[in-house]
Structure 1
Amino acid sequence: MVRLTTALRRIDDAKSRDGGGAWRVCEATGARVRAPRAKTPWGCVHFVGGAVLGSFPDVAYDAWLSACADDVGLVVVATPYELDLDHEKCAMAVKKTYDEARRLACAKEGMDASRAPTFRVGHSLGCKLLCLVASAEDANEREGNGEAGDGTIDMDVDATSGTAVAVSGTTRGGVGNVAGHFLVAFNNADATDSVKLVEKFARELLKKRAGAASGASEEFFKTLPNLAAFAERAAKAAGLEFKPTPAQTLERCRTRFASKRVRLIKFKDDDLDQNDELLEVLRERMKVYPGRVDARELDFGNHLTPVYFSTDGLKLTPALEKLVGQFALGDAEGVRKLSAEFAAFIRDASS
């Protein structure tokens, strides 16, 4: 995992030396920002990626996020994060990063920060982090810290009668400018199972490199699955657990999740997706909360479909060239279809 992270970091550095392409780094926050080309922006996307990959969103998710920005005219603000067993800490960190980066992006692009909507978009573990953010936002509103919103009464389920009741003494402050959530391949696994995602990514890399690598780069890619398998065994032996646990995360979503519009995306061949569990609790939540949730099961793709990037065209250092060589990872057609799904969601959520 360390070597995978190192490789991604070096590719990220190579992009930075080349000027970052259409991406820029928000120096004040570390967020990666991608403005739309040939369109006047009218809102923002807050993107949080999966484990390891989410630390380098402008590398691992470049093709998809660039299409999202250009197709619908939104500024993408991707918030990197470092892996930690405390997912709540990660969630609050990406929220803080986004809030400041969004303010700066709105000023730079000439958008009114008080009116420009935010669409939160996540992949895999990033979905869990955004769910924790959405649940915390509702909790803040209960404490009177929310922004002025639609003034509707927040509701909950009475444990005795099972009926919807108003939360005593509270008025829902709204969810600010958050217009919806687009959650792709939600993953809420425990620590041991989460390492399997890294192993899957490593094996995908190895498959892509089969017959094309040589020397040091060949050895690098061949060691990735073994390293991930070792990490899985180590996590199990140490009894590591995430905070909050998978069960606690779902319970928070059932009782606190705040969003006007939620769409869950599931790929055809994805054995790591846990959308069904999230959909069940969000449907229960939306019985008493003024929002909507739906799910789309796509006839293509797997857990890594949102990931597409290439080292082609980058000015790699000799050492990095020797380590990873020139390669492309992912399915360009799958990314194109996923981008169309996102554009459809934006049209629906904005109507």
Structure 2
Amino acid sequence: MEWQEISGNWVYLPRQEIVGIIHFLGGAFVATAPQVSYRSILEQLGKAGYGIIATPFLNTLDHFAIARDVLNRFETVLERLQKNNKLGKSYLPIYGVGHSMGCKLHLMIGSIYDIERAGNILISFNNYPVNKAIPFMEQLNLAPMLEVEFTPSPLETTKLIAENYCIRRNLLLKFNQDNLDQTINLNSVLSDRFPDMITMKTMTGNHLTPLNQKVKWQSSSFFTPVDAIGQWFSQEMSRNLQSLQQELIIWLNPLSAF
């Protein structure tokens, strides 16, 4: 399996029978190359039988335009893959998976457009205003002077989701060391809309855990305390990433737990 760039998306198709399609959207500042930033977690989902379509994007203030663009590119590549018989079946369940800002985009897509999704997985959701989402804006206090804000604003986004979000089955994941996360607020909004269809879990890790790669610490000729720390850190990152991958796969296919 190799990554392919098709119609402005990065596509990863498993060699075995494809059981579903995942549309992946990453975080604001790492979404330009999801096939690199999120390689480990996406390839594990591919090996579990899911066709991965990761749509890169550049963050701007107009999140309406970004949501429309990433959906258009996803639907274009999906139609192309189906036309060329690359998916093996005429119908496959589609799941949205988002990290950080990618969650907001999936939520907006599911609130504005008439789409079919078997479910969404929303990891480390946040919905901050400009002055908190872009660090230097808060430090320099530029946002009030420039009078800039995302569209929709955080309040408008919450209202849009509360009134229009149409994807019933959702997995919300947060990490115990993530001070950027607003998943608890999202859980309240979605649980009011779809009682008993929302699952929220807290996992070990931080906001960057989905970006971790499986790395093996190379010790020097003589084992030193630095090597011990390096091995421990590598093992902890790998363990958190593996737990996340397993959680996603089990939610997508509960029978895989048996």
What TM-score do you get using the length of structure 2 for normalisation?
0.84
Aligned to 1:57: 34
* Aligned CA-pair RMSD: 2.5
Residue deviations 1:223-253 (CA, integer Å, cap 9, x gap) = xxxxxx4785264342320000111111111
- 1:334 CA drift (Å): 2.1
| Native 8 Å contact 1:44 1:102 kept in 2 | no
Aligned to 2:97: 121
Aligned to 1:292: 197
- 1:121 CA drift (Å): 0.1
Instruction: Find out whether 1:98 has 2:74 as its counterpart.
Output: yes
Aligned to 1:340: 246
- Distance, in Å, in 1 between the alignment partners of 2:13 and 2:160 is 33
Aligned to 2:178: 270
- 1:311 CA drift (Å): 11
- 1:277 CA drift (Å): 1.1
Structure with greater contact order relative to length (CA < 8 Å, sep ≥ 6):
1
Q: Aligned to 1:184, which of 116, 123, 131?
A: 123
**1:244-283 residue pairs with structure 2 within 5 A?**
244-283=152-191
Instruction: Find out whether 1:40 has 2:17 as its counterpart.
Output: yes
**1:292-331 residue pairs with structure 2 within 5 A?**
292-298=197-203, 300-309=204-213, 331=237
Structure 1, unpaired ranges of 5+ = 1-20, 141-174, 197-228, 313-328
Change in CA separation of 1:337 and 1:310 when aligned onto 2, cut-off 3 Å: closer
Aligned to 2:61: 85
Change in CA separation of 1:112 and 1:308 when aligned onto 2, cut-off 3 Å: same
| Native 8 Å contact 2:168 2:194 kept in 1 | no
- Distance, in Å, in 1 between the alignment partners of 2:61 and 2:139 is 14
Aligned to 1:222: none
Change in CA separation of 1:279 and 1:31 when aligned onto 2, cut-off 3 Å: same
Change in CA separation of 1:232 and 1:129 when aligned onto 2, cut-off 3 Å: farther
**What is the aligned-residue identity percentage?**
28
Question: 1:306 is paired with a residue of what secondary structure?
Answer: helix
Aligned residues: 236
- Distance, in Å, in 2 between the alignment partners of 1:256 and 1:77 is 25
| Native 8 Å contact 1:261 1:293 kept in 2 | yes
Question: 1:53 is paired with a residue of what secondary structure?
Answer: coil
What TM-score do you get using the length of structure 1 for normalisation?
0.62
Question: 2:96 is paired with a residue of what secondary structure?
Answer: strand
Instruction: Find out whether 1:133 has 2:109 as its counterpart.
Output: yes
| Native 8 Å contact 1:31 1:79 kept in 2 | yes
